[in-house]
């Protein structure tokens, strides 16, 4: 069963949805914003998480 979790890109800190077990999942997904490879433990599909209310659950200190 596909699962989703949320977190920041380690490169550009964009909020991402990590979708595990969906079509297009890969072990070396690329961030849709900065196009850097994000290392994951399981096959994951990355989506930018900026498209709706209630998605920013992870508090991340923004580096300015
Ligand atoms: Zn990124």
Question: pLDDT below 50 — which residues of the chain?
Answer: 55
Furthest-apart CA pair in the chain: how many Å? Answer: 38
Ligand 1 mean position, distance from CA 27 (Å): 16
Residues 7/47, Cβ–Cβ less than 8 Å: no
Model pLDDT, residue 64:
57
For residue 2, the model assigns a pLDDT of: 85
- DSSP code, position 30: B
2 CA to middle of ligand 1, Å?
22
Report pTM.
0.73
Reported in sequence order, the residue ranges of the chain that DSSP labels E, i.e. its strands, are 3-8, 15-20, 44-48
Distance 18 CA to ligand 1 centre (A): 12
Instruction: Using the structure block, give the residue that is written with the tokens 């961030």.
Output: 31
Centre of ligand 1 to C-alpha 54, Å, is 21
């Amino acid at each position: 069963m596909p699962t989703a979790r949320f977190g920041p890109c380690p490169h550009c800190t964009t909020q991402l949805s990590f979708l595990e077990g969906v079509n297009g999942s890969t072990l070396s997904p690329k961030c849709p914003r900065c196009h850097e490879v994000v290392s994951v433990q399981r096959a994951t599909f990355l989506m930018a998480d900026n498209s709706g209310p209630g998605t920013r659950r992870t508090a991340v200190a923004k580096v300015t």
